[in-house]
Amino acid sequence: METPKTRLTLTIDERIDEPGNIARLRLRAPDGAPLPPFTAGAHLDIHIHDAEVDLWRQYSLCSDPAETGFYEIGVLRDPNSRGGSETLHRIVRTGGTLEVEGPRNHFPLNEAAPQSLLFGGGIGVTPMIAMARRLRTLGQDFTLHYCTRSQDATAFRDAVADAGLADAVVYHHDDDPATRLDLDAVLAEACAGANIYVCGPQGFMDWVIGRAGACGIDDDRIHKEFFSADVDVSGEAFEVVAERSGLTVSVGAEDTIARALARAGIAVEVKCEEGVCGTCVTDVLDGEIDHRDHFLTDEEREDGDQMCVCCSRAKGNRLVLDI
């Protein structure tokens, strides 16, 4: 159902500046044609281009998967970002356009689960809103726990109310002890077979994932999506053999495989540069991988036959890639 290689130029139909430095953008086809369908949990790759900034970044869809007339995303203006969100906030205007790819879904919803517990931290709530819309349509049991710094910094309240989801959303604010999330209590009340979904800052996600595991929830029922990650790409130097290209490149201590390959004329598509989007996943023919990403599953890592070349490295002196 997803169309991962579809590239579209979409019109910015509306920009709504939400609390918490979040811009909610509604995107339509310039001719009003229906947009490619998506499933709850999907995201768009957005091309951010202005002056010296030329980046691709991923933004989760928060609109209703049943809606084909427009997409909606939320963009946090993060002063600690690498320029993408700051640039979008500065250049995006109603009537302008954005180049996008997708939608793609690496965070699918298990629609058959007896119960779904959704945990969104800050801007990480965006895919949860789409999931909540879909679960409401299906008549499924779910609750969305939405955690923010304060009530004044809480975006999407109007969108939640307009979608008829207010009764299924519990708001938690760091500055209000009465509303803080009692995670262990929530997890203790989960029914057998409940599925957990979490997206937000890395510390928040690590907390939810760790507590869910400690409460006995199996890994295959804990679903996560990182929208950014702290990743250390440094390490000992090593060689990479690009088997099909017939080239060998050296990857230095502060270098990445993707950059080393690009200097040798071997293009690998890279978008997030943090090992969260999966765009740069490459097959590995030989060698031991030092995985640094947040995209591959534990099973895929154990197989040892693919890696994210934007951040992961070799554990030994040599890797052979099928490229």
Mean of per-residue pLDDT scores for the chain: 92
The better pLDDT of the pair 197, 57 is held by 197
Asked if residues 212 and 186 have their Cβ atoms less than 8 Å apart, the reply is: no
pTM: 0.83
The topology (CATH level 3) of 116-225 is: Rossmann fold (3.40.50)
Q: Please check whether residue 306 is in contact with residue 282, taking contact to mean a CB–CB distance below 8 angstroms.
A: yes
Asked whether the beta carbons of 171 and 146 are under 8 A apart, the reply is yes
Instruction: Give the model's confidence band at 229: pLDDT under 50 very low, under 70 low, under 90 confident, else very high.
Output: low
Neighbours of 179 (CB within 10 A): 15
> Tell me: the pLDDT tens digits for 300-318?
999 999 999 999 999 999 9
CATH 2.40.30.10 is the classification of domain 7-104: yes
Q: What is the pLDDT of residue 228?
A: 66
**pLDDT tens digit sequence for 231-287:** 788 999 999 999 999 999 999 999 999 999 999 999 888 887 888 888 899 999 999
The CATH architecture to which 238-321 belongs is Roll (3.10)
Domain residue ranges in the chain = 7-104, 116-225, 238-321
- Amino acid code (one letter) for 143: T
